[in-house]
């Protein structure tokens, strides 16, 4: 057991640090939940990609560095420590790409991944539907077989980034007559600007269109955009859930950097005693999350699957993120109310953590049943 | 970077667990709480035979050299089985005794489990002074071998007996290594607390599966399930802090592990008590052996505030 990085890992860290030092914008980009900010963040993705820093863990053939999960963690630590911008294509990179690596065709990987790496195509996820929430088995938006592909109809909602994104991926019911509701679903990709698609931006708490509703009326998707076998979308979606993806949804680097900034803010305000333990807990929580992730990454590298452990991880980081940003706003006092600061943007973003990607109630049920072995309960 | 126990480390923890499971520790604890140390001493010897105390003693004095990771693993098991006695104090003493003369005289017996050591800071309490053969007091002049101990005062944890030490005694060292000793004390306390928390969770999960209300196991109620899930999350995030601290042994890492493990154990104790109901509130039910220890360990060798201060004062960030 050790925490020492290899010389090669350290060299990688140094290279990332020096590149970031030279390239990270000196003033923050506008919020990526605005049209202007979205464009600025897309341009930043292209800049990252030009020197192969946008998807470091991907194979080199698709614009990555074949870096592996440990170096991905190292890169993320350096990335956020450098104060680099948030990632606009997170949905594609952390959700769709692993699925394509596992279940996509060679043609799909060649076609989809390079433009994702450069930010030329930004992806939105289209999992949720009205009435569905975390219960993906109750999905109703449908795909009907047609010549050379499928016709999609129905409604998706809470689609993050869809207000400005280019394409989306999600599950559609292609066989309504299966014995079980999670059968008969197909995982596919579609164009948000295709005929029949209407995107209605939804404004989140602070008024920014961070997500959208999608209305689909006979939207044609060619067979080449179906991922895996039709009807097996549920299994495909679940097979990457909770695994590498569970590790990569939120990197420890992000929280280490935020905790450091909180600590600096606290010191700059004269280290007020009233917030002392909350600031300490923010530092401790970031370290705990970093080490928990190192342990999970080590197990992953030994070939273990992580499964329900990602539920521990999700509840932890989502609640931690809110506690940290709340502390910052409280420290700022009257200034903390201002809506156009990094901290307030971060705060609003953090509030969604316990709600999306499976609510924390769902995660706690998974922990109770699958990690503690408690009897199934009435939800 | 491979932040994962190796096979030997896992095996060490598992064999200690098996030995302690067979030892019927609850009845040993109850004897100990009454001041009857016979079975406790016998168990202590077996723990020493497993190599636990030797993990804190240099090879020159019949130990194995200091191995914080293995010590942490061992103390998790000692906590899980509620083993009584000045466990933390004994390994802390091994760190304090660096002067060759006293070390040669006192350490081999500690490594072999022939005797126990206890330590008092300033004018504080030493744990289990009446059971220990070596009484160390940390005074302004340095480290002294106290001639004896004062009256036994009960702790909130009946298995912990608090004793002031008599003043005076042989001066063993004028500048004992306080900082490393405190680090090891905090690390092993954190590990013990984590073990206590894991035992509390385990026992509570078993209880809520068996106990029925309104015709179903109470473990099927969402409020019950979610409280236990939260306890599991708290404990699972304390574990990597503990092992990371054992690797780095920096003051901030060890303090972070101490406060997190102790808070997680304490929170689990509160949950365990609540979910057991009145039976958990009784001394006769074994759960109490862990419940009271979780409270005591929370302030032993550094309160939550002291540990948080150490984290905040750390110059280097992670």
DSSP string, A173-198: E--TT-SSTTSSEEEEEEETTSTTEE
CB pair distance less than 8 Å for A284 and B240: no
For chain B, positions 142-181, list CB contacts with chain A under 8 A: none
- Catalytic residue (choose from A244, A302, A304, A334): A244
Residues of A in contact with B205 (CB under 8 A): 372-374
For chain B, positions 47-86, list CB contacts with chain A under 8 A: 69
Predicted complex: ipTM over 0.95 = yes
Q: Please tell me the number of Cα atoms within 13 Å of B278 on its side-chain side.
A: 0
> Who among A70, A287, A302 is closest to B241 (CB)?
A287
Q: How many CB pairs under 8 A join A and B?
A: 153
Cα distance from A363 to chain B (closest Cα, Å)? 9
Whole-Å CA distances, A54 to A14, A67, A75, A311, B237: 17, 12, 10, 27, 29
CA distance A274 to A261: 18
Taking 80 as the threshold, does the pLDDT of residue A122 lie above it?
A: yes
Strands A167-173 and A123-126: parallel
Q: Three-state DSSP class for A339?
A: coil
The vertex-B63 CA angle with B57 and B66, nearest 5°, equals 45
Residues of B in contact with A302 (CB under 8 A): 4
pLDDT category, A378, cuts 50, 70, 90?
A: low
The pLDDT assigned to A131 comes to: 84
Residues of B in contact with A291 (CB under 8 A): 3, 240-241, 243-244
CB pair distance less than 8 Å for A283 and B256: yes
CB pair distance less than 8 Å for A288 and B3: no
- Residue for token digits 């599950």? A171
CB pair distance less than 8 Å for B305 and A277: yes
* Residue B10 · residue B77 · CB < 8 Å: no
- Residue for token digits 């405190």? B182
B311 touches chain A (CB under 8 A): yes
CB pair distance less than 8 Å for B2 and A376: no
Q: Per-residue pLDDT averaged across A137-145, rounded?
A: 93
Residue A302 annotated in active site: no
Q: pLDDT by residue (tens digit) across A61-91?
A: 999 999 999 999 999 999 999 999 999 999 9
Mean of the per-residue pLDDT values of chain A: 94
Q: pLDDT by residue (tens digit) across B135-153?
A: 999 999 999 999 999 999 9
CB pair distance less than 8 Å for A361 and B226: yes
* Residue B88 · residue B300 · CB < 8 Å: yes
Q: What pTM did the predictor assign? A: 0.96
- Pick the residue of A75, A250, A258, A374 with the most B CBs within 10 A to test the interface with B by mutation: A374
Regions in chain B scoring below 50 on pLDDT: none
Q: pLDDT by residue (tens digit) across A14-61?
A: 999 999 999 999 999 999 999 999 999 999 999 999 999 999 999 999
Q: pLDDT by residue (tens digit) across A244-294?
A: 556 777 899 999 999 999 999 999 999 999 999 999 999 999 999 999 999
CB pair distance less than 8 Å for A291 and B208: no
Q: Please tell me the number of Cα atoms within 13 Å of A165 on its side-chain side.
A: 34
Structure tokens at A232: 């097996």
């Amino acid at each position: 057991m050790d925490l020492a990085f290899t010389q090669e890992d350290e060299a990688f860290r140094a290279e990332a640090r020096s590149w970031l030092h030279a390239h990270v914008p000196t003033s923050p980009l506008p919020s990526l939940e605005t049209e202007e900010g979205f464009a600025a963040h897309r341009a930043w993705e292209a800049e990252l990609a030009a020197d192969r820093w946008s998807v470091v863990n991907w194979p080199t053939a698709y614009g990555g560095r074949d870096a592996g999960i440990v170096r991905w963690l190292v890169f993320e630590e350096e990335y956020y420590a450098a104060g680099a911008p948030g990632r606009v294509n997170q949905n594609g990179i952390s959700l769709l790409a692993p699925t394509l690596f596992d279940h996509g065709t060679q043609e799909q990987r060649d076609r989809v991944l390079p433009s994702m790496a450069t930010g030329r195509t930004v992806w939105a996820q289209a999992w949720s539907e009205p009435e569905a929430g975390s219960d993906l088995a109750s999905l109703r938006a449908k795909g009907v077989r047609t010549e050379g592909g499928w016709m999609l109809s129905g409604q998706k909602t809470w689609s993050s980034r869809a207000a400005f994104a280019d394409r989306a991926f999600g599950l559609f019911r292609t066989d309504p007559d299966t014995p079980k509701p999670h059968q008969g679903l197909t995982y596919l990709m579609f164009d948000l600007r295709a005929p029949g698609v209407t995107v209605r931006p939804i404004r989140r708490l602070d008024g920014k269109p961070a997500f959208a509703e999608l209305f689909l009326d006979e939207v044609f998707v060619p067979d080449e955009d179906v991922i895996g076998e039709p009807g097996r979308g549920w299994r495909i979606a679940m097979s990457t859930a909770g695994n590498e993806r569970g590790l990569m949804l939120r990197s420890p680097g992000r929280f280490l950097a935020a905790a450091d900034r909180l600590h600096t803010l606290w010191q700059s305000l004269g280290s007020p005693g009233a917030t002392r333990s909350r600031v300490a807990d923010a530092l401790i929580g970031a370290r705990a999350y970093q080490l928990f992730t190192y342990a999970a990454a080590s197990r992953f590298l030994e070939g273990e699957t992580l499964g329900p452990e990602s539920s521990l991880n999700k509840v932890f980081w989502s609640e931690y993120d809110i506690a940290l940003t709340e502390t910052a706003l409280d420290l700022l006092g009257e200034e903390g109310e201002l809506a156009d600061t990094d901290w307030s943007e971060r705060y609003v973003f953090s509030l969604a953590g316990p709600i999306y990607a499976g609510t924390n109630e769902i995660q706690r049920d998974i922990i109770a049943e699958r990690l503690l072995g408690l009897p199934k309960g009435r939800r | 970077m491979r932040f994962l126990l190796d096979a030997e480390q896992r095996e060490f923890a598992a064999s200690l667990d098996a030995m302690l499971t067979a030892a019927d520790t609850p009845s040993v604890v109850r004897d100990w709480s009454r001041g009857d140390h016979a079975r406790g001493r016998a168990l202590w010897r077996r723990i020493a035979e497993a190599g636990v105390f030797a993990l804190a003693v240099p090879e020159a004095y019949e130990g194995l050299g200091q191995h914080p990771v293995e010590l942490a693993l061992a103390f998790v098991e000692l906590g899980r089985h509620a083993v009584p006695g000045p466990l933390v104090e004994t390994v802390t003493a091994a760190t304090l005794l660096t002067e060759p003369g006293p070390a040669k005289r006192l350490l081999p017996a500690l490594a072999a489990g022939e005797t126990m050591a206890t330590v008092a800071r300033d004018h504080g309490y030493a744990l289990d002074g009446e059971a220990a053969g070596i009484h160390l007091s940390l005074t302004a002049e340095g480290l002294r071998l106290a001639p004896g101990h004062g009256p036994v005062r009960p702790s909130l944890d009946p298995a912990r007996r608090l004793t002031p030490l008599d003043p005076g005694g042989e001066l063993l060292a004028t500048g004992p290594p306080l900082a490393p000793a405190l680090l090891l004390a905090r690390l092993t306390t954190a590990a013990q607390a984590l073990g206590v928390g894991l035992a509390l969770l385990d026992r509570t999960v078993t209880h809520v599966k068996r106990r029925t209300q309104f015709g179903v196991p109470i473990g099927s109620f969402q409020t019950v399930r979610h409280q236990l899930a939260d306890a599991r999350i708290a404990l699972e995030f304390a574990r990597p802090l503990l092992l990371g601290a054992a690797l780095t042994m920096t003051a901030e890492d060890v303090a972070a592990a101490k406060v997190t493990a102790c808070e997680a154990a304490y929170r689990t104790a509160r949950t365990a008590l609540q979910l057991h109901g009145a039976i958990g509130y009784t001394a006769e039910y074994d759960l109490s052996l862990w419940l009271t220890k979780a409270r005591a360990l929370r302030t032993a060798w550094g309160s939550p505030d002291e540990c948080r201060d150490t984290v905040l004062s750390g110059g280097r960030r992670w």
